[in-house]
Amino acid sequence: MTEDLRAAGRLDTPAIYNDLERKLVTGVFAAGTKLKPGELQSVYGCSANTVRDVLLQLSKGGLVEFEMQRGFRASPSTSARRRDVADFRIMLEQEGAVRSMERGGIDWESRLSAAHYRLSHIESQIARQGMAEHLIGLWSDAERNFHETLISECGSPLLIEAFTRTYLQFRQQINAQQPDLGAGDVGWIIEEHQAILAAAVGGVASDLRDAIRAHLDRHL
């Protein structure tokens, strides 16, 4: 990814942010790894101050920890933190999804179905091949898009913002403990995503809440 960014000449601050965010979420930087601006500046071809500013922004989203005397580290992974993030994600996603179901209409259902179709296609490939390197980014983007689309019509920018932060922290926590990014559970995950879609278009709030909880319960 970094090489692609360099070749495209897009190593501005947003590009560096997005690349570091992806590496933190997918476990390229293991939990607790020290992140040194002086080393990363050579990776991204920018100043150490630019990297430092990006890491400070990522720390606001919970993906990076910063201490004055110790510098930056990828956020640690613990069972207690994973459970806390998973529980908070369930609350946010249930509320956002039910509100979206009540407000979104056919357009939302269509976008959700399209997001699920792409995700399901990628997950079917993972079921056959395992989590091949070329599928990691595709699945990460498709899974995030599905869940963000699920809550996209909730009518609350604050809820959406909180969910995005929490979702990324959740993926960081899970991927730190599952080096295959959950590929071993892909059979269950396919069924769970299908159940969420069916409940969302079915229009029954309790069914949708239950489908979301069933998808995430094992992480509590």
- Which pLDDT value is given to residue 182? 60
Residue 91 and residue 66 share a domain: no
* For residue 192, pLDDT beyond 50: yes
202 and 100 belong to one structural domain = yes
Among candidate residues 74, 98, 127, the one where a domain is terminated: 74
Confidence class of residue 46 from pLDDT cuts 50, 70 and 90?
Answer: very high
Nearest to 139 by CA among 108, 180, 191, 107: 180
- What's 41's domain CATH number? 1.10.10.10
The domain that contains 189 carries what CATH number? Answer: 1.20.120.530
Largest separation between any pair of C-alpha atoms in the chain: 53
CA distances 134 to 67, 122, 180, Å, are 35, 11, 13
Using 50, 70 and 90 to split pLDDT, how confident is the model at 129? Answer: confident
The DSSP symbol for 155 reads S
Q: Are residues 67 and 127 in the same domain?
A: no
Last residue of a domain, one of 37, 54, 74: 74
At residue 3 the predicted structure's pLDDT band, cuts being 50, 70 and 90, is low
Window from 59-73, 128-142, 192-206 with minimum mean pLDDT = 128-142
Q: Are residues 84 and 69 in the same domain?
A: no
Do 49 and 121 fall within a single domain? no
Q: Please check whether residues 115 and 62 belong to one and the same domain.
A: no
Whether residues 120 and 198 share a domain: the answer is: yes
Rg of the chain on CA atoms, in Å: 18
pLDDT at 10 over 50: no
- What angle, rounded to 10 degrees, do the helices at 133-150 and 186-202 form? 20
Work out how many domains the chain is built from and give that number: 2
Between CA 44 and CA 20 the distance in angstroms is 10
Confidence of residue 8 (pLDDT cuts 50, 70, 90): very low
In angstroms, the CA 133 to CA 111 distance is 27
Same domain, 103 and 145: yes
pLDDT digits (tens, 9 = 90+) for 160-184: 999 999 999 999 999 888 766 566 6
96 and 10 share one domain: no
Domain, as residue range, for 150:
79-219
Do 53 and 9 fall into the same domain?
yes
Q: Does residue 196 share a domain with residue 112?
A: yes
Mapped onto helix, strand or coil, the DSSP state of residue 27 is coil
Average pLDDT over every residue of 90-110: 98
Average pLDDT, the chain: 91
Question: 69 falls in which pLDDT band (50, 70, 90)?
Answer: confident
pLDDT tier at 220, thresholds 50, 70, 90? confident
Q: Which of 47, 74, 101 is the last residue of a domain?
A: 74
d(CA 103, CA 105): 6
Judge if 170 and 146 occupy the same domain.
Answer: yes
Question: Residue 193: beta bridge partners?
Answer: none
Distance between CA 207 and CA 53 in Å, rounded?
43
